[in-house]
Amino acid sequence: MRIAIVGTGYVGLVTGTCLAELGHEVTCVDTDAAKILGLKQGVMPIYEPGLAELVAANAAAGRLAFTTELGQAMAGSGAIFIAVGTPARASDGQADLGFVHAAARQIAANATGFALVVTKSTVPVGTGDTIERIIATARPDADLVVVSNPEFLREGTAIADFLKPDRIVVGTEDARARAVMAEIYRPFEDICPVLMTGRRTAELIKYAANAFLATKITFINEMANLCEGVGADIGSVAIGMGLDHRIGRSFLNAGPGYGGSCFPKDTVALLRTAQDHGVTLRLVEDTIAVNDARKRAMARRVVSAAGGTVAGRTIAVLGLTFKPDTDDMREAPSVALIETLQRQGATIRAYDPAGMENAARMLDDVAFLNDPYTCVKDADAVVLMTEWAELTRLDLDRLGSRMRRPVFIDLRNVYAPALLERHGFAHAGIGHPPTA
């Protein structure tokens, strides 16, 4: 099938490339001409493992093309996927649908025959109805059916997540649309359930899933606090809980609080939707508040481990992105931590394998270094923020020997306290029993 993808970011580019890999003929559109020009030359706009190779293979096979011309991409397409950003609105945190509405208007203007408009972007319940209204107003003659098809991929493992998902959710009340969506996702028949629901239900599934995962992370973070109070070990608590199939092991890693381009904005957007409908979501409210407080608490933890003050001290931060294997810095907990430490007088040196270019646009007065050992030079403390593989196997002796004071704050619990002690580090972690 010919398919157009509107928005060639983390989701659009991966979706388009993977749909091409499944045999569809895909054209990805973006308003960012530099991005499209780069993609035509094989330059990836994002860091995502395996993506460059898959784009190159499908472009060479003639199944994947890039353009800034929506009309060209839509010609002959049976489905037009909307994968533009839905950032938090500055006024109240609800999803800003400006890009989605603009895409809908542009799609309406270029409509020719029957096609689906498939919303992949994460959008509040009822957005499908709005898109439908926008199209009907702009082009009453258009034969377009609006479908919800939320995306669940994770940055860093996006290709595997897309090609081997746990489930595919399709929301539509329209029989013709169901048939086209079934055709698009036929290659997944033996891979995962394709859940067909109403459109509003599909829109809500995405938010409910993200809010649940954010709550799970926040729950284990609170348990980590309790572990510190009672002398228990959060790592073992998480394993003991996670071995229960009803709970599951994933998303039980205590850390500095969730961040990234989805959980923070999606939890708040869900809350706003609920408030608009007069429904109270107390658990989600508390999850957001607890996570916000945790980000501030992490800075206090660093200050305390550094001896009660960071004024005039140098703090090295290893890992900046909100998780490993991505260059995405949106809502990364490292930003709040670094800015708080700077406000208290610290000098910050930082290293990240892929996120430094994006981080440099968000942070002032940070020295970005090219490897962890140069980063910690003359530092009074080092903070491990992101568990990139290369940061989980550091040469601790080499690290310690370069620092002014060997203080290790491990906000991902990668290194056992006893190991850090053996290598001469004073240390702080998350949810460890106090080591007297």
Residue 8 binds to ligand NAD (criterion: CB under 6 A): yes
> Nearer Cβ to ligand NAD, position 212 or 398?
212
- Among 73, 83, 159, 383, indicate the residue that binds ligand NAD (CB under 6 A): 83
- Among 59, 134, 153, 379, indicate the residue that binds ligand NAD (CB under 6 A): 153
Residues 6+ apart with CB under 8 A from 144: 107, 108, 111, 114, 115, 116, 117, 135
* Footprint (CB under 6 A) of ligand NAD, residues 239-268: 261-262
- Min. distance of Cβ 192 from ligand NAD in angstroms? 16
Residue 73 binds to ligand NAD (criterion: CB under 6 A): no
CB atoms closer than 10 angstroms to residue 405? 16
Residue 29 binds to ligand NAD (criterion: CB under 6 A): yes
Residue 417 binds to ligand NAD (criterion: CB under 6 A): no
Length of the chain: 436
64 belongs to an annotated ligand binding site: no
Residues 6+ apart with CB under 8 A from 382: 315, 316, 317, 318, 375, 376, 399, 403, 407, 408, 409
Residue 337 binds to ligand NAD (criterion: CB under 6 A): no
Residue 85 binds to ligand NAD (criterion: CB under 6 A): yes
Inter-residue contact 252 to 242 (CB < 8 Å):
yes
**Which residue, judged by CB position, is nearest to ligand NAD in the bound state?**
9
- Among 1, 2, 31, 285, indicate the residue that binds ligand NAD (CB under 6 A): 31
What are 153's two structure tokens?
């991929």
> Nearer Cβ to ligand NAD, position 34 or 243?
34
- Min. distance of Cβ 84 from ligand NAD in angstroms? 4
Q: Return the amino acid letter for 291.
A: N
Concerning whether 262 is annotated as a catalytic residue, the answer is yes
Inter-residue contact 324 to 387 (CB < 8 Å):
yes
Q: Of the residues 18, 28, 227, 262, which is catalytic? A: 262
Place of tokens 């086209």: 180
CB atoms closer than 10 angstroms to residue 357? 12
Residue 314 binds to ligand NAD (criterion: CB under 6 A): no
153 belongs to an annotated ligand binding site: yes
Strand ranges across the sheet with 115-119: 64-67, 25-29, 2-6, 79-82, 115-119, 144-148, 168-171, 194-197
Of the candidates 383, 399, 319, the one whose C-alpha atom is nearest the C-alpha of residue 356 is: 319
- Among 57, 102, 163, 232, indicate the residue that binds ligand NAD (CB under 6 A): 102
Residue 11 binds to ligand NAD (criterion: CB under 6 A): yes
| CA 86/CA 282 separation, integer angstroms | 24
* Footprint (CB under 6 A) of ligand NAD, residues 122-151: 122, 151
70 belongs to an annotated ligand binding site: no
Q: What b/e readout covers 160-187, taking b as 16+ CB neighbours within 10 angstroms?
A: ebbbebeebbbbbeeeebbebbeebbee
Using CA atoms in the order 329, 364, 357, 335, what is the torsion angle rounded to 10 degrees? Answer: -20
Contacts to ligand NAD by CB under 6 A = 6-12, 29-32, 35, 83-86, 99, 102-103, 106, 121-122, 151, 153, 155, 261-262
Active-site residues: which are they? 262
> Which residue ranges make up the annotated binding site?
30, 35, 86, 122, 152-155, 206, 251-255, 259, 265, 323, 330
> Which residue ranges make up the annotated binding site for NAD(+)?
30, 35, 86, 122, 155, 265, 330
